[in-house]
Chain A
């Protein structure tokens, strides 16, 4: 009907939906927005992570700055400078002492091992005859004769069992007729434990004799060692004296800073009180609270007065140490490997100590209690602080460097191990393996990625740690840096497990990247007469390089954010690894950023400085992960030519 059409021009599309509308939206629109809303939840989640990390962490720097200001004003910082001198001195002394002890104990070690083994065997035997031993203690002389026979019987029985001889003594073996002699010795000694068999007595005498000879020979070394230790005495005495004052000052400062709160609490209590007498008393108490800031200038007077004294002590210590350092024995003259190693380390660390002392002397002189603590100081002391010390009675430090270095070294170890393996397997699976092999290898490696990290950490504690330590004791592996290892839980252990976790991630992504190389590339390479491996290494790998680099980066991101393995296996020792050991640094324990959050957050009061510090560490981790992600995406975009 053309008439009606002209009458009523079509203003709405004929396909527009009719029917129910809600807020001007059709049903379809509502669904669309519902889906869109869910999708934008990804953005919301990311923003919320930012918001809640910042919400808990943003007050960290102001609070930390306030904490540092008190640290300075009360003079604790001044004493801390001296304390650090003392600690550095003690570290060097410990090394020297270890060198001395290694030398001292070495000659008598074989005899000492036998004596130790005897002790253990005797203990096992008396454990097996506990009743006899108990009775022996109560028995009179007549009874003891009978008990003696019982003892010999029981002891022989115990000595016939192999477990009794299972002793754990370093560098000790049952050789020759040693076992026979030991058996006789144990039987001769009886249940009392106060008799000595001639064999053991002779050994003890020999040990004492060797020991005496050695200590006679090492007398000069011992003198050097003692002189080294005693040189630090004046410094320690001065530090102790000043530390007492510093602690009192800090006490005053904290009383002052909590004063308003206490006053408020008392006034509140008074307001609630009905009894006028108590009320008046509470108000009086509240009024009595001193709200005047302590006079830090006079409080820190003793420190300024002590500067010349410290200077003298410091100079004396330096000249003493320099003198002692010149008299150190040549490492070559020592007989044990451990002794030589420790002596060399002691030498090095004493030289470093001299430098540190010189710097410290200047720092102490330049120290002012009223120097302003800037916001920058709070920031740098977090990001570049070398100490993470919490719950200490002296002063808490929140420096992220030890944690960061631990995380980084572990991640680097993991990458060094994981990258060759995962890329080699990606090449093998994609290019060389048959179809059947592929369909077995690929799911298996992908399945490794499904192993929960806590299970791997458990495996690291139970099996890998002990295995690694035992393997590292092997003679022919001693060229490996860090071997032989003393510890079970080390960065190496954690790094190996993390490498195992990273392999599936890197493998899958790298395999994808290799798979995406167009067939034409491979075919033209073959047509030019290249062999299979030439094609792989000169055509396929360069083309897939961007994808492989992205894979490596994402693997790295996964490793550095991994928590449970490092918490369980890395050894949890908060310190910057000692790089004096060169590559051997991998055999040391460390703590990590992820580990510290997992370990400490559960025990911290909400809103405290420590709590905020942990959230700051979380922020750092979050930012690192974003940066790594960003770089990976950039690499893919920038170099993705195909």
Chain B
């Protein structure tokens, strides 16, 4: 029956995969690979989520202007926690607390005024304000002055105020580093790609760049301390830190700039030279403008890396406490020779070098949140630049 044969043949596809042990093993392996990949991504998302959930409430608020302005516009301060009445807790920055105390001298004195013998002593101004003698026994004083309330206070260093100082410091350090590194790095890349013609010298330079990229960041810190701070006598300053960071990202900038120089077709250079332009004119007019987007992308990448580094600036530039912004302190030695606060170092300080209490949490998560947002913006910028310019430049 020919009809029957035809009917039998039509639905059968000879190339259709048949189930076998091999294919199920392959499926399993694929699933394992998939799981490994997405596990890594899930971990990353977990970390972001934790930081964002706990950090965002510090920086944003429900009432207008919706952003916690003091957190972004004040300098870090010591936070004082005290109980003005039973069951209520107040948090004030140190300066504000001092003001509060001097204003409320009639109703409150703090536990620090009480010495080991239970004696309370007052300052001259307070005595004047209260019209009282010099010192009393705590209990007697409270008994005769029922309006007074003893308050006990505790303090948490660096946990009050805002993080303007660290943000400014990070921006300054990063700017110095990137300007210096871009200048040297682009020049080096131009030499390697446009002028060099191989040879042992070039090989040595390439080897040095490769090795420089692998040096641990703390070793750069030691180097910066030895060269910039001590040998050149710059001390703990913005300039020392900036230059240390510049040396550190030099390999990144050179490699990336060279890549973007390489991507420019040979024809550009040849056409320019054929028109009688000199080498330098060719580089300036026919090569660098087209390589610029790539170089800028590289520099943004460099910024991302520099902004996050702590170890190299620990001994060369960063300090934990500073009560003035860099431009408010021009008196001694100039703008660039002062030490600065920096956001990663600030995070290190508040998360490892001070006693941990619940009152330090907002500062910790707030700083980390702001820092992550900064880094993410920079990363996003570099990704956007890459795709944007790749679409625009076509040859």
Contact = CB atoms under 8 A, between A and B. Distances in A.
Contacts of B219: 49, 53, 561, 618, 621-622, 625
Contact of B223 (A53, A457, A500): A53
Contacts of A420: 36
A594 B205 contact: no
B344 interface: yes
A349 interface: no
A562 B247 CA distance: 17
A625 B214 contact: yes
B33 A425 contact: yes
Contacts of A462: 351, 364
A448 B315 contact: no
Contacts of B201: 40
Contacts of A40: 201, 205
Contacts of B194: 35
What interface size band does chain A fall in? 35 or more
Interface stretch (A183-191, A252-260, A598-606): A598-606
A106 interface: no
A130 B86 CA distance: 9
Contacts of B371: 452, 455
B368 A455 contact: yes
A35 B187 contact: yes
A443 B205 contact: no
B218 A459 contact: no
A39 B255 CA distance: 11
A626 B214 contact: yes
Scoring B30, B226, B230 by chain A CB atoms within 10 A of each residue's CB, the highest score goes to: B226
Interface in B329-384: 344, 347-348, 351-352, 364, 368, 371-372, 375-376, 378-379, 383
Interface in A212-268: none
Interface string A562-602: 11100110000000000000000000000000100110011
A432 B308 CA distance: 33
Report whether over half of chain B's contact residues are helix, strand or loop; otherwise say mixed. Answer: helix
The interface size bin for chain B is: 35 or more
B131 interface: no
A623 to B, nearest CB: 10
A441 B205 contact: no
A211 interface: no
B389 interface: no
Nearest to B204: A43
Interface stretch (A24-32, A88-96, A113-121, A200-208): A24-32
Given A452-B371, A454-B308, A458-B347, A621 B36 contact: no
A554 interface: yes
Interface in B190-232: 190-192, 194-196, 201, 204-205, 208-212, 214-223, 225-227, 230-231
Contacts of A52: 222-223, 226-227, 231
Among B204, B214, B347, the most chain A Cβ lie within 10 Å of the Cβ of: B214
A45 B250 contact: yes
Interface string A436-450: 000001011101101
A41 B188 contact: yes
The 9 closest A-B pairs by CB, nearest first: A561-B216, A452-B308, A52-B226, A38-B187, A35-B191, A424-B36, A39-B188, A425-B37, A563-B311
Given A459-B51, A618-B222, 14 more contacts: A17-B278, A28-B280, A40-B205, A49-B215, A53-B226, A452-B308, A459-B47, A462-B364, A500-B43, A598-B221, A622-B219, A625-B219, A626-B214, A629-B214
Interface of A: 17, 27-28, 31-32, 34-36, 38-43, 45-46, 48-49, 52-53, 55-56, 130-131, 420-422, 424-425, 427-429, 432-433, 441, 443-445, 447-448, 450-459, 461-463, 500, 503, 531-533, 554, 557-558, 560-564, 567-568, 594, 597-598, 601-602, 606, 614-615, 618, 621-622, 625-626, 628-629, 633
Interface of B: 22-23, 26, 29-30, 32-34, 36-37, 39-41, 43-44, 47, 50-51, 86, 183-184, 187-192, 194-196, 201, 204-205, 208-212, 214-223, 225-227, 230-231, 247, 250-251, 254, 278-280, 304-305, 307-311, 314-315, 344, 347-348, 351-352, 364, 368, 371-372, 375-376, 378-379, 383
